[in-house]
Each structure stands twice: as structure tokens, then as C-alpha cells.
Amino acid sequence: MRPRMKLYLDGPGGGTFGEGVCRLLEAIAAEGSIREAARLLGRGYRKAWGDIDRAEEAFGRRLVSKSRGGSSGGATELTPFGRELVAAWERFSGEAAAGMEEAFERHLGAIIEGGNRDER
């Protein structure tokens, strides 16, 4: 029985950033387009687009730089702030998860895993 955690950053005027959007940004950085990134992650473009929109609303800053038209049809790449954010979030979430695991072992590890006795 393992613990699980979800991390969020909420903007003051709505909007949210979390693990999902971070993964999406990484995929965009790798693929160069929102559509391809969404396909790679098995998500719909519609939702991916909305997620980015909400994330940018949360920070009040652009995370990606999008362009329409052209021979390629269009493209999307991360802004410098977007790249910085992804890297910082990776460190943040990794460290938070490690601390959580540690706290779990310290306080709940002994309590749980103790078989399935029944008390009445």
C-alpha cells in the first residue's frame, strides 16, 4: 500500500498548473506542436489546448509561443519562462515526493503493511 500525491499551483484569478500540464509542456518541447504532443500523451487536442490556456492564466505569463499557418501548418514551442518552469517543477515535485515518501515511512510504514487482522 503506497501513498500517492497530487501537486497544484493555483493562480489568483483562476487557472491551474500541475503535473499533467507539465508533462504536456515537455511533450511540446520535444514534438514542436500541441497536436502531436497531445497524441503522444494519448489526450485530445481540445483538452491540451484548454489546459495550456488555464496554466498561462494561472501565471499571467506565456508558457508557450504558438504560430499558425505556414508550410508546416503551425508550430508551438516553449517560452524561456516555460522551460524554466518545467525544470523547476521537476525539481520541486521530485523533492516533494521524496519528502512525502520519507514521512510515510516514518509515520505510517509501521502502522500499515501489518496484515489484515480484523478487530471488533
Contact 41, 25 (CB under 8 A): no
- For residue 109, what are the contacts with CB-CB under 8 A and spacing of at least 6? none
Q: Is 29 in the site for its own copies (CB under 8 A)?
A: no
Q: Contacts with DNA in 44-103 (CB under 7 A)? A: 44-47, 49-50, 66-76
Mutual angle of helices 19-31 and 80-107, in 10-degree steps:
140
Rounded Cα distance between 93 and 97, Å, is: 6
**Interaction between residue 55 and its own copies (CB under 8 A):** no
Q: What residue 39 binds from DNA, its own copies, none (CB within 5 to 8 A, per partner kind)? A: none
The end-to-end CA distance of the chain, in Å, is 23
Count of residues near its own copies by CB under 8 A: 44
Q: Which is nearer to its own copies, 39 or 77 (CB)?
A: 77
Q: Is residue 19 near its own copies by the rule CB under 8 A?
A: no
Query: Residue 106 CB, nearest distance to DNA (Å)?
Result: 28
Residues, the chain: 120
The region of 32-40, 79-87, 91-99, 107-115 touching DNA under the rule CB under 7 A is 32-40
| Cα angle, residue 11 at apex, residues 6 and 14 outer, rounded to 5° | 100
Judged by the rule CB under 8 A, the positions of this chain that interact with its own copies are 1-12, 58-62, 65, 79-81, 84-85, 88-89, 91-92, 95-96, 99-100, 102-104, 106-108, 111-112, 116-120
